Amino acid sequence: MNTVRLILTLILAASILCAMLLIQYAYKRRSMPGAKYFILLLISAIVYNGAYLGEINSNNISTAMFWFHIQHIPIPIQHYLWMVMSLEYSKVQGKYLKLAKYLGLYHPIVYMLIYFTNDFHKLYISKYSFISNGHFPVLFTTKESLYILMVASGTLLGVVSMVFYVRGLIKSSRLHQNSYIIMIIASIFPWITVYLNASDTNFLGIDYFPVLSIISGCLYILGIFKFKIFNTIPIATEIVFRQSKEGVLLIDLDDQIIDANDAVVELYPELKGLSSKYCLGKFVKDNPEIKRIYEGQTVFQYSLNIQGSERYYSAEVAKIVLEDGLEIGKILTINDITIHIENQRMLEQIAATAIDKAETSEISFLQAQINPHFLNNTLSVIGSMVTRDPHGAKELIGNLGEYLANRCYFDSTSPMVLLDQELDAVNTYVAIEKARFGDRLRFQIVCDKVSKINIPRLILQPLVENSIKHGILKRAEGGNICLSIVKEGCRIFFEVRDDGVGISEEMIHRLMLGGKENIGIGIYNIHRRLVKHYGEGLQIESIKGKGTTVSFYINI
């Protein structure tokens, strides 16, 4: 066998084997966006490469023509699959993706119809020649107008793919841009050979498309699977993720730590840089205090000696799940709860004699209680919005940052806060919930002009949160909440009214006595603090199925 032919044969055989390995890898991760069409693309590449392997090893024109005909079955299918893969990868909305799937079928149908009727019209290829290129005989063709038309049609599908990749590149965050750059490069490679073939300028008359398509497949592997872990929080990673005082580790499906924010790096310096993937198992082995991750505990507490001082931390492991239920990794959050632990111990020691200090600690404790599921769900909403509504995602990230600042980074020396600040906290919280629940939640504030006054910290936001959680969201259709602030002489009247499911008289009684705290966020705490500061507390009125009104007065 001629040396050049032998080398090309071995390369094609290796490309087929490589495609099979890529299919095996992709099949295990077939739930990732674009993965299914990538697998089909590889299957069509195997058929094409196998047929071309047969063509270059043919010794007569009839055998070469047989394999040439086989090649023209996967060619238009590959063009079609390129386009559909790009649309799914770029998170095009379902209805548009479905429409594109049907419209794009015109190309493979028309292509095959034109090619396999060429013997009658000769408008695709008018002449076939089996001529030596100086090393071995290859098939040369005289191309006609319909050939150029089909190249243009395939190019159109390629342009559509490129438009959506570029669109994703422009709209995505810095971390996610790498994946789109790789997908763009991978898509350009094969098309170079298409135009070389069309212009008959390919060296030695050899079709390089089969080999370059597999190289593209290797690049697609990186684009589809390596970088997609950031699909849930591309923008949040840059803003909330990096700057949050809550430590966050991102872990992929292979149990590799792929990123850590500044708070975790400060605690565990070995994570700095992460130039290569760091196995979670090794991290746990090096830091046995968090070994309970592998003992089935998703939430636990531990302590560390930091510069001679004992610090306390809580850790939680949660799955990163997209809206469609696809799990793409895990998130480990680590919170410094030293203040919480110390305040808790202090309260146990001085509860009987230091009521004032106990109240301040109680407020601090209430502020520190952020539901991790609320945070995880909010980040998931951000992840789902970044490609379809980046401006909305950016706004929601800002709201989340303000919410975290209000709930976590407090002045524990003062139990009071400006009314304007408390209203800002209410609006921020409602904005986050509206992003999650949309039109189910309708909220308004009616407020008289009042001079700048101080009110007890965390009074209004928990009341609004209770109305949302226990009143409005228990109705399928949602409902309305109104916060009214009215000046009445030397007093200001506050009212939180909703048209939710309501609560019973018995439950109201139990809430006001603090006996059923878990069904209302701080109701007894708020009532007791209002009584201490103003001599009277909350008034709660409710009608089952009609709604609930919570009100109170404060003195100016």
Question: For residue 543, what pLDDT is reported?
Answer: 92
Cβ–Cβ contacts within 10 Å for residue 23, how many? Answer: 19
Distance from CA of residue 483 to its chain's centroid? Answer: 34
Q: Answer for the pair 430, 464: CB distance below 8 angstroms, yes or no.
A: yes
Distance from CA of residue 485 to its chain's centroid? Answer: 39
What's the Cα-to-Cα distance from 351 to each of 347, 360, 367, 369, rounded to whole Å? 5, 12, 19, 20
* Cβ burial, residue 266 (10 Å; 0-12/13-18/19+): middle
C-alpha 95/C-alpha 445 separation (Å) is: 38
459: Cβ contacts below 8 Å, ≥ 6 apart: 422, 494, 526, 529, 530
Cβ–Cβ contacts within 10 Å for residue 339, how many? Answer: 17
Side-chain-facing half-sphere of 372: CA atoms under 13 Å: 18
Q: Which of 534, 539, 449 is nearest to 497 (CA)?
A: 539
Cβ–Cβ contacts within 10 Å for residue 238, how many? Answer: 14
Residue 165: both structure tokens together: 């990749």
Question: For residue 110, what pLDDT is reported?
Answer: 92
Q: Answer for the pair 177, 166: CB distance below 8 angstroms, yes or no.
A: no
Sheet holding 309-321, edge to edge: 278-279, 256-260, 247-251, 327-336, 309-321, 299-306
CATH class of 3-229: mainly alpha
3-state secondary structure of 551: strand
What length does the chain have?
A: 556
Give percent above pLDDT 70 in the chain.
84
Residue 15: both structure tokens together: 């490309």
- Give the pairing of strands 479-488 and 441-447: parallel
pLDDT digit string (tens) for the chain, length 556 residues: 578 888 888 888 888 888 888 888 888 777 777 788 888 988 998 898 889 889 888 889 999 899 999 988 998 998 888 888 888 877 777 777 788 888 889 999 999 999 999 989 889 888 888 888 788 888 888 888 998 898 888 888 888 888 887 887 777 655 567 777 877 887 787 777 777 777 777 787 777 777 777 777 777 767 666 654 434 444 444 556 667 778 888 888 778 887 788 888 888 888 876 655 678 888 888 888 888 777 777 888 888 888 888 888 888 888 877 655 677 788 888 888 888 888 887 877 776 455 555 555 555 555 455 456 566 667 777 777 777 777 777 777 877 777 766 665 555 556 788 899 889 889 988 988 888 888 899 999 999 888 688 898 888 988 998 899 888 988 989 999 999 999 998 899 999 999 999 998 888 888 887 655 445 457 888 898 898 889 899 999 999 989 999 999 998 8
Question: For residue 232, what pLDDT is reported?
Answer: 40
Question: For residue 234, what pLDDT is reported?
Answer: 47
337-379 pLDDT, tens digit per residue, is: 888 888 887 877 776 455 555 555 555 555 455 456 566 667 7
Q: Chain-wide mean pLDDT for the chain?
A: 80
Residue with tokens 């024109």: 61
N-term to C-term CA, the chain: 100
C-alpha 297/C-alpha 280 separation (Å) is: 15
Angle at 156 (CA atoms; ends 151, 161), nearest 5 degrees: 125
Residue with tokens 């044969």: 9
210-235 pLDDT, tens digit per residue, is: 777 777 777 776 766 665 443 444 44
Give percent above pLDDT 90 in the chain.
14
Helix (H) or strand (E) holding 332: strand 327-336
533: Cβ contacts below 8 Å, ≥ 6 apart: 456, 554
Question: For residue 67, what pLDDT is reported?
Answer: 92
**Backbone phi, psi, residue 409, to 5°:** -100, 80
DSSP string, 445-507: EEE------EEESSSHHHHHHHIIIIIITTSTT-EEEEEEEEEETTEEEEEEEE-SS---HHH
Helix (H) or strand (E) holding 132: strand 125-132
DSSP state of 246: S
Question: For residue 173, what pLDDT is reported?
Answer: 58
Question: For residue 45, what pLDDT is reported?
Answer: 87
C-alpha 98/C-alpha 105 separation (Å) is: 11
Domain boundaries, the chain: 3-229
